[in-house]
Structure 1
Amino acid sequence: MERTKESAVWRYFKLNTPTSSTAVCNVCKANVARGGGSTASYSTTNLIKHLQKHHATEHQEFQQLSRSKGAGGGPTQQLTLADALQRREKFPGNSAKAMRITEKVLEFMVLDGQPMSVVENEGFRRLLEHLEPRYNLPSRKYFSETALSEMYEKVCEHLSQELRDVDAMSFTTDIWSSEVCPMSMLSLTVHWLDRNHTPRSAVLQAKNFPGAHNGDTISTAIKAMLDKWNIPLNKVHVILRDNASNMKKAMEKMGVCSLGCFAHTLQLVVNEGLLSQRSVSDAIANGRQIVKHFKHSPLAYSRLYDVQLQMQMQPKRLQQDVRTRWNSTYFMIQSLLEQKHVLGAYVVDYDLPTTLTANQWALLEKTSTVLEPFEELTRKISSSTASTADVIPAITVLKRILTKEDVADAGIKTMKKTLLQAVKQRFDSVEDELLYALATLLDPRYKDRYFTSETSTKHAKDALLKELEDRGLTSTAGAAEASQRPEKAPRMETAAEAVAAPSKSSFMEAFEQILEESEDADAASSSSTAVQLNEYLAEKTITASDSPYNYWEANKHRLPDLAATAKKYLCAPCTSVESERLFSTVSNTVNDKRNRLTADRAEMLVFLTKNSSLLLK
């Protein structure tokens, strides 16, 4: 049967009607019989012979087109022996096609956390054989000893190029120990703002770190990592670390600025200020036993599920907390409170290891209320765009919330007072830390509006002025240009935005209240040596939901020296969360299926996985 419009021959012929018994040659206009006695038996054989006999050039072109179309819809011609043999031959190992497929197989293993042994799995090999029979899958040894190293070097070179022109970088570091093999790793993650003021980060190393983890060995290891990437110490703006004494000593020995993780300090505040109270800890301990009971007993959970359905509630599991993460305790309390009535119905028919008294339920409700702004803050500072600029405003807002008395505070005043004392104790000198203070000034959402001490504000502004002067801000031309700039109009909330705005949390209400009070008190200075800084500080702040990075990209020509300084101070995160997230990847890489991985290969896999954005460029 004729395959009418699939054949390349129809480039050279046309039909007057779909059922015509002849086709018209486009070259010589001759009518050529299609063969057969009916539409069903027509073929293209006569048409091809006509081209071969009368139009050699077109016939040669037709043959090339037919080969290129092949099995994808070309004419039903028989393959030559040479073509058939070629289609059965395997790609040479160094062919472009084979190398590209090998690269994609390695990407699959890296990005999806697959062990190198996947290339030995029968199902995977059959899949590749079906997709491309001519591809010869290399061995596991090739991927682990050759391909992995080549990809690692390629991404390293790309990252080195990106970091070469960066003037100031911040770092996060942490130590991890495996539970499935005798391996410890020390991580170093770099953070910077690129030429467009876009926040960037990349893992430099997750280095094998055997032996003692003291200040000397840590400082030596981190210095070696920086040397490997040709990063001099004068480009290190700050290193974020945990609050352990060995980490503090290591940074002091290196002679670099360092800050403790804000999230870790907040953890201490909540533990010391609230969760360590006897009545609260007892209520939480009872709640924890209830959650464990359902987590470890499928029968108990099945019964709870039935009770939830009977009470027409959405079936939901209780959340288990992790004692080293206070916010997980908050989520556990929330899940218990949501299922309070369900648990009450459950104990009518079934036993529990313990129960919560009416006073303990009330205490958990109060604890949840008090911890809500802390949980919101923790989410805020754990985002990938959070910076050291967020710390001073966050502490100011927390103090405002904990100090403010409300009619709804009945029964939780003591909790709030205890937490306030813990906040003041842990963050007493936060405004005097210049790394925090200058970052806050350079964030257009905050500027100087969240400082509570006039002395600290003046000290921070003087330090920023000195930094700007070191960059050459006080040149006459620069000052004159900045002084001629009109003040930006404040951003006004539109009626549509006011209607659409969701109800604000207590944290955001306090945040905006402080901002409004500070904005009203603003007055621009006319000091000729600080015209650019004064112009910036005199303007209204941008909204909390706007990006400070976008602001500086849009204003880098209007406020060039401030924008350059912002690149330095806003590149620093306020937590070491990125390092903790890195070790989640490490745990997935060095697991039961990969417990024989050498430290060097584990490091390469983690590096490539975390830097996947560079890998896919």
Structure 2
Amino acid sequence: MSAVWKYYKVDDNNIAIAKCEICKLGIARGGKEKATFNTTNLIRHLKNKHPTQYSEFTQATQPQTTQLTLQESLKRREKMPRDSAKAQDIIAKIAQMIAMSDLPFAFVENPGFLMLMEHVEPRFEMTSPHYFTEKALPALYKKISDNLRVLLSDAPHVSFTTDIWSSSVAPMSLLSLTAQWIDSSFVLHRATLHVQEFRGSHTAERIQQSMEKMLNNWGIDKQRVHVILRDNAANMKKAMRDMGVPSVGCVAHSCQLCVHEGLLSQRSVTDTLANARKIVGHFKHSPLAYSRLEDIQMELNMDIKRLQQDVQTRWNSSFYMLQSLLQQKRALSVFAAERTLPATLTAHQWELMNKIADVLSPFEEMTRDVSRETATAADVIPAITVLRRVLSREDDDDQGIKTMKRTLLEAVEKRFADVETEPLFYIATLLDPRYKDGFFTKSANLLLAKEHLIQEVAKTEGRRAVSTVPEEYEAAAEPVSKAPHHEACSSLDIAFEEILQERQSQGRSVSTTSAETQVQTYLSEKNTPKKSDPLQYWKEHAYQFPSMAAVAAQYLSAPCSSVDSERLFSAVANVLDENRNRLKPDKVEMLVFIKKNIHFLL
């Protein structure tokens, strides 16, 4: 409320009038409604009729200012020492900003940034780019790595991904190592440990030496290595085998090889894809053609969308290219009637493109599923089982793509023939409450998987790995809430639900030992919904199944693809670009390490 009301009171009969407490005169408040009331007339009346009170009013409304002493004024102009806590905190935040935003170190000399810092903290004196590269960055790296070492030291089992990447803007190859593990509270952690320089020939022997050095650097012995996800290259396979650590190939990479075989198996399919590439390439290389296509899209009241060019090494890019062409079929038909295209698509080829997209859709969905950050080794067997069922179904619409579909199924059978006999996959699948024993295609494989799981539970039960069961679970856990199943909306979802329904009616064997009792009791319970979190289940059932929970913490820590390493190299490409192609490998590693692991500092 304004200080002027010290001298006025609202008229009881008319709120649009304020009575002066000094002379009792009524003064209009500036309107007839509350929205228009103001104090201008009231202040003017004080000024003209009551100068003494007006002087009091102006003094009350002026801000109280305290004049600084000469010593205080000089102190405010002094630059803070670089080694002071405040200066070091500012330097650390700037170093974080450089790493997280992919900024060059010379950014600290940018005039605009200096102007901002002068305004925010005039006493801070900006340091040189050299100081950030040689002091601030290593200090931040050490702080994060120290925190990470503590967390890793408590992890009984750690899963890894690795890959090799070569830069296109600098003569540099990098070897990655990412880690993930589940802690005692059943929380999944991910960390980037290395993106170190890998010089010379990429032989299995050199890969092995580098991998062992990286693991030793973090104090991780081979007994704690649960599995290493790698690509399917022979040098990687041999390196892991010679190291004596478990390793499996990337599921997404194997899926890529399957689709590549299928796309090349039928001449009509390859011809259609070739014509599609020519059409998309025409618009990619001609801004004028794209402009005309956009005009047609607007005339047809279509969304303005650009065509997507495929990349030979990524099959899903061919799928997205076909989708973009099918979405713009009307606009392309109008364009072709008015302009010349480097290739034309016949009615049969348009129909064939639609069928190809339908066949590839389950592969694209599966690739997305196994590439999610939350995807684990438990997702592999169910995904392959569902994919096999979808591909084996015969449909009247398969005319024209039967060879392709058959070849895809054969490729899946060949490249994923051993998934049900790989311990990493089958134990993880059994321990995922969404899947359990419902997706094994052969009874012999299921029997082997159950026997192996019982053995693992028995070994863990003997050791009583109490460290994997948090203290807060000493009391009986509440049962997992059963969320309703989501309605199936894709071919993979439909097949998933069908397989679960078929398996649920099968009987369970009678158990005898404690480990068998735990396993059979767990398997006899109803599966949790597909969208539920398996780690949340084990967090809530750690008291009921203590030994199984410990095994679950080990096996569900494994990813099913090396996508983490590929995402890591995408981050590297943003750091080591054409504008910073002279960065040294150790600085590249520090910048990426900080960017990917900053959450261990905050």
The aligned residue for residue 239 of structure 2 is 250
Q: Deviations over 1:98-141 (max 9, x none)?
A: 22211111111111111111011111111111221111111101
Is 1:41 aligned to 2:55, yes or no? Answer: yes
Q: Per the alignment, do residues 589 and 111 of structure 1 end up closer, same or farther by CA in structure 2, a change over 3 Å counting?
A: same
Partner residue in 2 for 1:553:
539
Give the one of 489, 503, 521 matched to 1:518: 503
Cα deviation digits, residues 238-275 of structure 1 (max 9, x gap): 10000111101110110111000000000011111234
User: What residue number does 1:353 align with?
Assistant: 342
Contact 1:188 1:206 in 2 (8 A): yes
Q: Give me the whole-angstrom Cα distance separating, in 2, the residues matched to 1:43 and 1:250.
A: 85
Partner residue, 1:533: 519
CA distance in 2 between counterparts of 1:487 and 1:103 reads 44
Aligned to 1:210: 199
1:83 aligned to 2:97?
Answer: no
Letter in 1 for 2:145: C
Whether 1:574 aligns to 2:560 is yes
> What is the match of residue 612 of structure 1?
598
After TM superposition, the structure 1 = structure 2 runs for residues 146-545 of structure 1, keeping only pairs within 5 Å, are 146-472=135-461, 491=482, 493=484, 504-523=489-508, 525-529=510-514, 530-545=516-531
* Stretch of structure 1 that moved more, 291-300 or 466-475: 466-475
CA distance in 2, matches of 1:358, 1:167: 60
Provide the rounded CA distance (Å) in 2 between the counterparts of 1:430 and 1:237: 17
Q: Which of 138, 141, 146 is the aligned partner of 2:127? A: 138
How many correspondences in the alignment? 551
- Alignment partner of 1:472: what SS? helix
Q: Report what 1:480 is aligned to.
A: none
Partner Cα distance (1:474, 1:251) in 2: 28
Distance 2:112 2:481 in 1: 63
Aligned-partner SS, 1:611: helix
Asked if the contact 1:226/1:232 (under 8 Å) is kept, the reply is: yes
Say if 2:436 and 2:527, in contact at 8 Å, map to a contact too: yes
| Paired residues of 2:109 and 2:129 also in contact (CA < 8 A) | yes
Question: What letter corresponds to residue 556 of structure 2 in structure 1?
Answer: L
Q: Secondary structure at the match of 1:252?
A: helix
The separation in 2 between residues aligned to 1:502 and 1:472, in whole angstroms, is 39
Bigger drift between 349-358 and 511-520 goes to: 349-358
Structure 1 residues 262 and 412: CA distance shift in structure 2, 3 A: same
Letter in 2 for 1:589: V
Q: Please identify runs of 4+ aligned residues in structure 1 that moved more than 6 A.
A: 15-21, 485-490
1:335-377 residue CA offsets vs partner (Å, 9 max, x unmatched): 0111112111001111211111222212111100111111111
- Name the CA distance, whole Å, in 2 between partners of 1:464 and 1:37: 94
CA contact (8 A) 1:524 1:538 kept: no
CA contact (8 A) 1:273 1:421 kept: no
Deviations 1:44-98 (A, max 9, x none): 98x9xxxxxxxxxxxxxxxxxxxxxxxxx96123221112111111111122222
| Distance change (3 Å), C-alpha of 1:4 and 1:591 | farther
Instruction: Select 1:114's aligned residue among 70, 83, 103.
Output: 103
For the residue of structure 1 that corresponds to 2:64, the secondary structure is coil
Q: 1:41 to 1:565 in 2, by over 3 A?
A: same
TM-score by structure 1 length? 0.85
One-letter amino acid of the counterpart of residue 570, structure 2? S
> Aligned partner of 1:154: which letter?
K
Distance, in Å, in 2 between the alignment partners of 1:442 and 1:307 is 54
Preserved CA contact (<8 Å) 2:265 2:403: no
Measure the CA separation in 2 of the matches of 1:522 and 1:86.
83
Matched residue, 1:62: none
Which stretches in structure 2 are left out of the alignment for 5+ residues?
Answer: 10-19, 23-49, 465-475
Structure 2 counterpart of 1:609, one-letter code: K
**In 2 relative to 1, CA 389–293 (structure 1 residues): closer, same or farther, beyond 3 Å?**
same
- State the secondary structure of the residue aligned to 1:190: strand
Gap change, CA 1:16 and 1:164, over 3 Å in 2: farther
Q: 1:212 to 1:486 in 2, by over 3 A?
A: closer
- Shift in Å, 1:488: 7.5
Q: Secondary structure at the match of 1:182?
A: coil
In structure 2, C-alpha distance between the alignment counterparts of 1:4 and 1:87, rounded to whole Å = 34
Alignment check: 8 A CA contact 1:491 1:542 kept: yes
Instruction: Report if aligned partners of 1:491, 1:540 keep a CA contact under 8 Å in 2.
Output: no
C-alpha separation between the residues in 1 aligned to 2:412 and 2:238?
25
- Asked if structure 2 preserves the Cα contact closer than 8 Å seen for 1:524 and 1:535, the reply is no
Task: Map 1:21-36 onto structure 2 (within 5 A).
Answer: none
- The AA in structure 2 aligned to 1:612 is I
Aligned-pair RMSD on alpha carbons? 2.5
Which AA in structure 1 matches 2:575? T
User: Are the counterparts in 2 of residues 490 and 540 from structure 1 also a CA contact under 8 Å?
Assistant: no
Q: What corresponds to 1:94 in structure 2?
A: 83
Contact 2:479-2:540 at 8 Å conserved across structures: no
C-alpha deviations, 1:143-166, integer Å up to 9, x for none? 010000000000000000101110
Partner of 1:593: 579
For 2:553 and 2:218, locate their aligned partners in 1 and report how far apart those are by CA, in whole Å: 21
**CA distance change for structure 1 residues 584 and 487 in 2, over 3 Å: closer, same or farther?**
closer
Cα gap change, 1:473/1:546 in structure 2, threshold over 3 Å: closer, same or farther?
A: farther
What 5-or-longer segments of structure 1 have no aligned partner?
Answer: 6-14, 22-35, 48-72, 476-484
